[in-house]
Structure 1
Amino acid sequence: MWTIPNILTCVRVLLIPVFVIVYFLDWKWAHQAAAFIFWFAAVTDWLDGYLARKLQQSTPFGAFLDPVADKLIVAAALLMIAHTYQDPWITIPAVLLTAREVFVSALREWMAGSGHEDSVQVSFIGKAKTMAQMLALIGLLSELQEFMGIPIYWVTLGYILLLIATVLSVWSMTAYLIAAWKYLTIVPEAKK
């Protein structure tokens, strides 16, 4: 159970309260430090998946905990930016992204329980959504518009990427639902 990928996943789970506490600290670079922690967690997410495949260390524990860790830290980040910005252009996408994650997780769980999990595998659109979402959250968490006097517009880019992630999110959710629809609409035979 204690493989390198599983340890990285556990580290990511343990980083969630650290990430939230750092974000709300009352010091100048708190948001940038929290954005760095979020970035580090995103890197460990990629790294644990890569190592699990490369070292052939995939485990049931890792298969369960990895997506849970991802969804927990992303949900925390979405709540934090909605709280910080209090802007409908942030809050509405944050709600849609969170709702999509709950919906798709439930759909995948139901499909796996009914033996049709191959119908709702992660697609390219889902991966693109995740990349846009992670970059958006890093930018919005950091609140950086300039660095050492050089304009970098992280927040502006974060807004744009969050909207792109939201569109891709709804698109991928719709694709998953269409793929699963034939299984969801089967009428069970009446019991005698």
Structure 2
Amino acid sequence: MNLPNSLTIARLILIPVFLLTASMKFLYADYAAAGIFLLAALTDGLDGYFARKKNEVTRLGNFLDPVADKILITAALISLVELGRLAGWIAIIIISREIAVTGLRALAAAEGIVIYPSRLGRTKTVSQVVAVAALFLRDFSFNIINVPFTHIAVAFTLILTVWSGLDYFVKFRSPADKKHL
């Protein structure tokens, strides 16, 4: 097993650890959960970097990496809803977009088209990671200056999530763009 796939497997292993920590009630559980979540999210960037740098892109990695990403984000969003820190409708919109784009990628793959993550899609992922971490940290450093950072981060993430999802579908519908996905 190559390094990028090992990092993806590590992300999958970290998900239940994250969920367990997020559900615990000890003094710094939120900070520990945020740290584990951020570590898992970091493996997402690293696996792609190493796969491209070492030319170790595999079919397993192409399949497993986006699945691991979706499971991590979905687990975090559901945990935040359960903790009462995120409205359920926001989680449903974000999770629905992730499922829809995954379905679109599967449909494209059946037509022999690989849909690579767009810059907008990568920005959306970063915004999701920041918003989830901020929700677990409860505006830790921003409370001092009275800035509702989590509200801003969640709103920004919601907009980017919908926008990037629509972008994938619009580009896939256009036959001229299919060559460039």
TM-score by length of 2: 0.88
Q: Which residue of 2 aligns with 1:9?
A: 8
1:46-93 deviations in whole A, cap 9, x for unaligned? Answer: 111111111111111111111111110100001011121265xx3222
Does residue 160 (structure 1) correspond to residue 157 (structure 2)? The answer is no
**Local SS of the residue matching 1:80:** helix
Select 2:112's aligned residue among 112, 115, 125.
115
Equivalents in 1 of 2:85, 2:134: separation in Å?
Answer: 16
Higher CA-based Rg:
1
**Local SS of the residue matching 1:85:** coil
- 1:109 corresponds to which letter in structure 2? A
Q: Structure 2 unaligned runs (5+)? A: 176-181
Does residue 92 (structure 1) correspond to residue 84 (structure 2)? The answer is no
Q: CA deviation at 1:112?
A: 1.1
Q: Relative to structure 1, is the Cα distance of residues 72 and 14 closer, same or farther in structure 2, using a 3 angstrom cutoff?
A: same
Q: Where in structure 2 are the equivalents of 1:71-90 lying within 5 Å?
A: 71-85=70-84, 90=87
Q: Which residue of 1 aligns with 2:131?
A: 136
Runs of 4+ in 1 over 6 A off after TM superposition: none
Q: Which residue of 2 aligns with 1:187?
A: none
Does residue 22 (structure 1) correspond to residue 41 (structure 2)? The answer is no
1:104-163 deviations in whole A, cap 9, x for unaligned? Answer: 10011001102233xx4322211111111110001102224349xx82779x32221121
Equivalents in 1 of 2:113, 2:48: separation in Å?
Answer: 23
- 2:134 corresponds to which letter in structure 1? G
Q: Relative to structure 1, is the Cα distance of residues 8 and 101 closer, same or farther in structure 2, using a 3 angstrom cutoff?
A: same
Q: Structure 1 unaligned runs (5+)? A: 184-192
Equivalents in 1 of 2:156, 2:166: separation in Å?
Answer: 15
Equivalents in 2 of 1:128, 1:100: separation in Å?
Answer: 15
Q: Is the 8 A contact 1:78 1:94 kept in 2?
A: yes
TM-score by length of 1: 0.83
- 2:167 corresponds to which letter in structure 1? A
**What is the Cα-based RMSD across aligned positions, in Å?**
2.0
Select 2:103's aligned residue among 88, 106, 125.
106
Q: Where in structure 2 are the equivalents of 1:9-88 lying within 5 Å?
A: 9-85=8-84
Identity %: 36
Q: Relative to structure 1, is the Cα distance of residues 11 and 86 closer, same or farther in structure 2, using a 3 angstrom cutoff?
A: closer
Equivalents in 2 of 1:17, 1:53: separation in Å?
Answer: 28
Count of matched residue pairs: 175
Equivalents in 1 of 2:85, 2:53: separation in Å?
Answer: 42
Q: Is the 8 A contact 2:139 2:149 kept in 1?
A: no
**Local SS of the residue matching 2:55:** coil
Q: Which residue of 2 aligns with 1:177?
A: 169
